[in-house]
């Protein structure tokens, strides 16, 4: 049996991922790191309220096998580019270091389509730098997932994304597979599938491979 560690559990992909992990028979324990406790209960679920700004200084008395990263925000929600960078890069790398220190041999992280450390687009550049830095940590198994526009039950209003989702679903037959909108459940399912393969190496899955 395996133990999973998840950060970003309250988000669109993260909430789907946690539910699937709790249904997956090969995981008998799921730890999630949250800012505040979620309204979610299960005999195999353990919630840990953490301070992400001082994450690496916190001690955990448990070991894990697989770590899953679904953290992410937007510049608008974060309030500035520097705040966005802190969440989508710094928090992710801090989590990865902590996961490695408590036994994780595999880490599976949601990035973004177009991630590139040399990109002129700030969002893509941050995601690309995160990928470079997480690779450098030396996990035996690393999965990087680059979904296109995400479909799913959002709790927050994002008018632009709502319109884009409608357009991409309406014109789906015209859009190349790599750029089609994708439901969060498909991303979460692929993350678990890759983790359970137990294959060493770095695997980068573009959005068309997640469909």
Domains annotated on the chain, with CATH:
2-149+182-206 (3.40.50.720)
pTM for the complete prediction?
A: 0.89
DSSP string over the chain? -EEEEEE-TTSHHHHHHHHHHHH-TTEEEEEEEESS--S---TTEEEEE--GGGGGG---S---SEEEE-----HHHHSSHHHHHIIIIIIHHHHHHHHHHTT--EEEEE--TT--TT-SSHHHHHHHHHHHHHHTT--SEEEEEE--SEES--SS--HHHHHHHHHHHHTGGGS-GGGS-EEHHHHHHHHHHHHHH---EEEEEEGGGT-
pLDDT of res. 174:
47
Q: What is the pLDDT of residues 55-100, one digit of tens each?
A: 888 889 999 999 999 998 888 899 999 999 999 999 999 999 999 9
Render pLDDT for 119-173 as a digit per residue (tens, 0 to 9).
999 999 999 999 999 999 999 999 999 999 888 776 555 555 555 554 455 545 4
Condensed to tens digits (0 to 9), the pLDDT of residues 5-18 reads 999 999 999 999 99
């Amino acid at each position: 049996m395996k133990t999973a560690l998840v950060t970003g559990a309250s988000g669109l992909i993260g909430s789907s991922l946690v539910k699937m992990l709790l249904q997956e028979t090969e995981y008998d324990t799921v730890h999630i790191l949250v800012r505040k406790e979620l309204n979610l209960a299960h005999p195999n679920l353990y919630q840990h309220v953490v301070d992400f700004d001082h994450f690496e200084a916190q001690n955990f008395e448990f070991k894990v096998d697989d770590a899953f990263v679904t953290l992410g925000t937007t510049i608008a929600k974060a309030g500035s580019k520097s705040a966005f960078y802190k969440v989508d890069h710094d928090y992710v790398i801090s989590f990865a270091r902590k996961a490695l220190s408590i036994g994780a041999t595999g880490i599976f992280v949601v990035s973004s389509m177009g991630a590139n450390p040399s990109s002129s687009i700030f969002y893509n550049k941050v995601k690309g730098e995160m990928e470079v830095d997480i690779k450098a940590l030396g996990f035996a198994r690393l999965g990087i997932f680059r979904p296109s526009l995400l479909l799913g039950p959002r709790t927050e209003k994002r008018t632009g994304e709502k319109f884009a989702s409608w357009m991409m679903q309406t014109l789906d037959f015209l859009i190349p597979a790599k750029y089609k909108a994708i439901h969060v459940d498909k991303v979460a399912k692929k993350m678990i599938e890759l983790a359970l393969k137990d294959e060493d190496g770095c695997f980068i899955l573009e959005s068309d491979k997640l469909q």
